[in-house]
Each structure stands twice: as C-alpha cells, then as structure tokens.
Amino acid sequence: MSGVARARLAATVAATAAIATSSCDAPAVRAPAPAPAAAPGVDVIDLHVDTLFQIHFAGKRLGETQLALAPPPAGVVLSLYLPSGLRPVPVPGHLLPGLLAAAAELRARVPAPTWLSYEGPPPDEAGLAALLDAGVVIVGLAHAWHSDFADSATDPHPRRGGLTAAGVQAVRAIHSAGAVVDLAHLSPDAAAAVAALAAEVCAPLISTHTSARAIHDHPRGLDDDQLRAVSASGGLVGILVHAPILGGRDAERFAAHVAHAVAVAGVAHVAIGSDLDGNIRPIRGVASTADLPALAAALAAAGLDDAAIAAVLAGNARRFLARLPGRWSCSPVPGHTSPTPIVQRVWTPEPRYSPRSKP
C-alpha cells in the first residue's frame, strides 16, 4: 500500500470509528445467542459462492455443484460473474441479460434466503445500472486484472493509483442504490479509495471472500489496517476456504485466519465467504457447502466460544445482509460540537430488494 493510501485509510478509520460507537438506526452490533459449536444443524450463511457460473456457463446441473441443498445453508450470497478468461479483455456485457435471468431461476430453486452479488468489473455504466436494478446488493469493480474502474490486487501490470474517474462514479452509484462495494480483488489503493468514499455517506465496507495477510501474505488478503477500516465502518470480512490464499490445506489454517480477523476487527465483523464453485482448491474436508458447519470444531479449537462461532458462521452475515439495500447517509450526533463533526449512520431498508426464500 502506498504512503498516500495508508494515510487515507488511517484517516478513514479515525473518522468512522466514531460512527461505529455512536447511536445509529441500524441494528446494534452484538454477537447472537450461543449455539453448540460442532452440533449437527449449525447454521451457515455463505457470503460468496460461484454456483451460478457453474450452472450458466460451465453447463453443470445444480446437483453437480458445490452448493448443497440437503440440507440447504441458512442463507447464501450468489455471485454473478461474466467470464473473460481471467485476463484483461473486455467484459462480455452482451451476456448479462441471460446471466440475470439465470440468477432469478437459481434463486427460485434454493430453499433458503438468497442475495445477489457481482464479481467485477461491470461491463460498463449501463451494465452496472442493470445489475443494481436486478437487485444486486454487493458489487465488485475488478477481478484478476485492472479494469476500467479500479486496480486489481493480483494484476502484474503497473497500477494506476486505485480508482479511475469511472470507478469513483461507480462507487457513488452503488451507494446511491443502497448497495455496497466489495473490496475483494481490489488493490490496497483502490480499497482505500472506496473506504474514503464510503465514509462520505456512512456506507459499510465488505470484503466477501478474503483472508488475513498477517497469517499468510497473499495479495488477495487484507492487512490489519484494512481489517480495522472494515470494522470501523460497521462492515464485514468473509474468510474463504481456498487453500492457496490461506497458505495451508487444513481446517486449522482457515480457523487461524478467522481468529486473527476476530482479534483485529472484532467478532461482530467476521464471517465466512467460501468461494466454493469458483474453481478453487478448498481446504481438506470441504467438498461443498454442506461441509461448512463442521468448521465449527476448528474454530472452537482456535479459541472461539460458542457465541463467537455462531456469529462468524451465520449471525454476522444475517445481520449485515438484512441491512441491504439501505439508504446510506450521515447526520450530526446531537450535542456534539467539533470542527470535525461526529456523524451517525442512518439506515432505511429498501423492501423491493428483500431476500427471497421458499417455505
């Protein structure tokens, strides 16, 4: 991270820390009631699965994917992705209408609450508008390469400094729609720029599928300053199960990333975003979403108590996703006088994008 970006991020953390501790209309941040750590039926809400790609583009049947429906997860964020071969070529925007139609069909088949995210970049401004109109509530601006909107964490080519002018406009459009920007895949400078723009309207930050760089220094992970920034915004970090990014193949390695994120960001700001169906190499013992509840045992061994495990596996994601979409805005805290006003986050739900579920 550049010195400018680090200074910007530090300023954002300082400004938003007051927001996190001030009164707000959003639900209070607290751990849910305890649940048995390794008992059958442990709830899991997954912040990122790529099942839609496997069905719509790879031609698999739902039963051939890693999204298990017997039993179904307690909730799942279905990621939309327009394939371009993991290389810097134009995003095939002409495929977006079919992808959105497939997303609606898949949501109708999943017997659990579902939400839509988009793994960036959008094809263009019109494509971004179509995604938001379709109910996508989490939007990425880059993938494996730099995009017209933002620098990627993994593109080997020189970076341009974070967000482009189009990227700044896109972030503001996303926030205006009540959605949030996914920091996953963004370069540190781009993530810092998103954090600064989010602070202007008191929108929370999220990284749906990532890791802790302090445990394994991979560019797709978040460092401790970034973890604190997400926490200060009232946001959420989803830890994935992709072994190369975790730096190990055992459940204990996943648990180490979770435990570190909890120690730095706080237990209310950590969740699971598996990245299953994303052509990943999952840790041992995780072949589908049905195996995710068993990770509770590794989390317990890493020192998390039952309440913290329940929060990480489902409670935090459930609370965060219930806020989407919202109308993000800031207002002065009554009685506070300072050259730099402390603000509170004001959240109003938008019912037209409520999660779909089946009885």
Q: Contact 295/43 with Cβ under 8 angstroms? A: no
Q: Is the model's pLDDT at 340 over the cut of 80? A: no
pLDDT tens for residues 240-288? 999 999 999 999 999 999 999 999 999 999 999 999 999 999 999 999 9
Cα gap 9→142, rounded to integer Å: 19
The confidence score (pLDDT) of residue 85 equals 58
Q: Contact 118/141 with Cβ under 8 angstroms? A: no
Q: Contact 358/33 with Cβ under 8 angstroms? A: no
Q: Is the model's pLDDT at 114 over the cut of 50? A: yes
Average pLDDT of the segment spanning 133-147: 96
Among 15-24, 31-40, 80-89, top mean pLDDT goes to 80-89
Task: Please give the structure tokens belonging to residue 154.
Answer: 């993994």
Task: Please give the structure tokens belonging to residue 57.
Answer: 């583009």
Residue-wise DSSP of 151-166: -BSS--SPP-SSB-HH
The confidence score (pLDDT) of residue 339 equals 35
35 or 333, greater pLDDT:
333
Under the banding of pLDDT at 50, 70 and 90, the label for residue 338 is very low
User: How far, rounded to the nearest angstrom, does the alpha carbon of residue 164 sit from its chain's CA centroid?
Assistant: 21
| Cα Rg of the chain (Å, integer) | 19
The confidence score (pLDDT) of residue 212 equals 98
Q: Contact 26/234 with Cβ under 8 angstroms? A: yes
pLDDT tens for residues 217-240? 999 999 999 999 999 999 999 999
Average pLDDT of the segment spanning 128-156: 95
Q: Is the model's pLDDT at 21 over the cut of 90? A: no
Query: For residue 43, what is the enclosing H or E element?
Result: none
23 backbone dihedrals φ, ψ, rounded to 5°: -70, 145
Average pLDDT of the segment spanning 333-337: 47
Tally Cβ neighbours within 10 Å of residue 241: 29
Cα gap 150→141, rounded to integer Å: 6
Tally Cβ neighbours within 10 Å of residue 30: 11
Task: Of 23-27, 57-61, 106-110, 214-218, give the lowest mean pLDDT range.
Answer: 23-27
Q: How many residues in total does the chain contain? A: 359
The confidence score (pLDDT) of residue 19 equals 34
pTM of the model: 0.85
Q: Which CATH number fits domain 41-353: 3.20.20.70, 3.20.20.140, 3.40.50.1970, 1.20.90.10?
A: 3.20.20.140
Cα gap 9→284, rounded to integer Å: 35
Among 123, 31, 112, 116, which residue's Cα sits nearest to residue 82?
123
